[in-house]
Amino acid sequence: MFEVRLSEIPLPVSERDTDSLIAWLVDSFTLLRRKGEASADLGLAEPIHRILADHLLTSPEKAWDNHMLSEELALTPAAIHHHMSRLVEAGLVSYTSGNGWRKYHLKGGSISRSLEMFASIARMSLLQRMEELAELWSRSDCRMAVELPADDYGGIRIQIKEWHPLAEERTILGQLMNDLGLLGERPGKEVLSGSTSIELFKLLLSTGPPISIDEAAAAVKDAKPRVGRILERFRSTGLVERVPRTDRLATALWSAMTTQYSRRGEDWLLLKGGFERLDVPLIILKDLAKSKLTPEKVSARLKDIDSQKQMLLLNLLGGRLALGYRLAAESPQSLQQKALDNLDRITRRMKRVGALLEESLS
């Protein structure tokens, strides 16, 4: 069964060092999960690295069985089988049967062709799974009046598992979330109906505006730290984004203005608070002096100042704008395209590294 976990990492610094290129592929496919002292040498001593570097990539025209590799690598056949199974699931390696042993070989006879085939299968599988997600979508197109860019998440992690029949005790949504990596590597009971992760994702599938951690925790009746960790895990897949709650911008500005006025006074607001610099209407100061300023009045007074300047004003006043989580697109089709774009960006890097590997090995 095709199943792969991809990590978006920068291209390797050294484009001609074979071991560095192989290590990059191992990390991108998350074939080596445990990190420690062994990773200081790029994991060169790890079995998966040795299998690729000394056998599959250097002799792509040959086939290898567990018995042959176990003797050369001083590992048990069971250990070789484990690593080979990971490569088969990722779509890089295939096998034939004969003489009681599976004969493993690099798909296509070269790393470039193997990665080309992998990219095609991965895209097709992800497209099918995203179409399943679209059938569960009930969120309306509800954008905020002022939209600001989402927080960038450096290095998304994509998991793709091809369609398979529904397992016992699982719901369609729970199994789909698990197959897309939304439940993490070891989901445990989170894959079962009614879990916090599933209820949170249902909330995102049905709610338009961004949801803060406070709102999400109240909705699913769970602790805020745990809810925050789950939402960040969703965000790491690229299917969920974290954006400034600009629907609360007026309230945040009102709170910052009233706090700084009571602490530092009118002159500070004019000079260091940014009122003069950003041409903030001085009628706000009159409202503050009379204790009549409200979030509604702040919104009305600042309607002619664009959102970026309002955010700058909030920073100058020492205020903070709440963040919220939502699905990373307005419609199922646009979310599907975003997921495919994320995958294409990773596979393009992989193909580049594959081409460099072939040059280095030749």
Same domain, 205 and 281: no
Given a cut of 80, is residue 316 above it in pLDDT?
A: yes
pLDDT digits (tens, 9 = 90+) for 183-217: 998 888 899 989 999 999 999 999 888 999 999 99
Report the predicted TM-score, pTM, of the whole model to 2 decimal places. 0.86
Domain's final residue, options 213, 240, 267: 240
In a domain, 221, yes or no: yes
Domain's final residue, options 240, 267, 289: 240
Domain count, the chain: 3
Same domain, 226 and 254: no
In a domain, 196, yes or no: yes
Report the CATH number at residue 41: 1.10.10.10
Which ranges in the chain belong to alpha helices (H)?
18-28, 47-51, 66-73, 77-89, 111-135, 172-179, 196-206, 213-220, 224-236, 249-264, 266-271, 283-289, 295-301, 307-316, 332-361
Same domain, 56 and 101: yes
Q: Of 67, 93, 134, 55, which Cα lies nearest the Cα of 340?
A: 134
pLDDT digits (tens, 9 = 90+) for 140-157: 767 776 677 777 887 899
Range of the domain at 281: 247-316
What's residue 38's pLDDT? 47
**In sequence order, what are the residues at sequence separation of 6 or more whose Cβ sits closer than 8 angstroms to the Cβ of residue 84?**
51, 66, 93, 95, 102, 104
The chain-wide mean pLDDT, for the chain, equals 90
Which 8-state DSSP code applies to residue 218? H
Question: Can you tell me the distance from the alpha carbon of 49 to that of 41, in angstroms, rounded to the nearest whole number?
Answer: 11
In a domain, 133, yes or no: no
Given a cut of 90, is residue 296 above it in pLDDT?
A: yes
Lowest mean pLDDT among 42-51, 278-287, 316-325: 42-51
For residue 99, what pLDDT band results from cuts at 50, 70 and 90? confident
In a domain, 75, yes or no: yes
Which 8-state DSSP code applies to residue 108? G
In a domain, 127, yes or no: no
Same domain, 158 and 231: yes
Q: What is the DSSP string of 238-271?
A: TSEEEEE-GGGHHHHHHHHHHHHHHHH-HHHHHH
Using a 10 angstrom Cβ sphere, with 0-12 exposed, 13-18 middle and 19 or more buried, the burial of residue 96 is: exposed
Same domain, 7 and 115: yes
Same domain, 278 and 215: no
Domain's final residue, options 219, 240, 261: 240
What's residue 147's pLDDT? 73
Q: Which helix (H) or strand (E) holds 40?
A: none
Same domain, 71 and 106: yes
Question: Can you tell me the distance from the alpha carbon of 106 to that of 112, in angstroms, rounded to the nearest whole number?
Answer: 10
Same domain, 192 and 219: yes
pLDDT digits (tens, 9 = 90+) for 32-41: 865 554 455 6
pLDDT digits (tens, 9 = 90+) for 228-241: 999 999 999 999 99
In a domain, 329, yes or no: no
Same domain, 21 and 80: yes
For residue 266, what pLDDT band results from cuts at 50, 70 and 90? very high
Q: Which residues pair with 241 in a beta bridge?
A: 326
In a domain, 326, yes or no: no
Mean pLDDT of 11-24: 87
Which percentage of the chain shows pLDDT scores above 90? 68
Given a cut of 80, is residue 270 above it in pLDDT?
A: yes
Question: Can you tell me the distance from the alpha carbon of 90 to that of 3, in angstroms, rounded to the nearest whole number?
Answer: 6
Tokens at residue 37, please?
A: 């002292």
Same domain, 55 and 147: no
Mean pLDDT of 18-45: 77
Same domain, 142 and 227: yes
What's residue 170's pLDDT? 87
Same domain, 252 and 222: no
In a domain, 125, yes or no: no
Which 8-state DSSP code applies to residue 167? P
Question: Can you tell me the distance from the alpha carbon of 37 to that of 20, in angstroms, rounded to the nearest whole number?
Answer: 17
Half-sphere exposure of 250 (CA within 13 A, CB side): 17
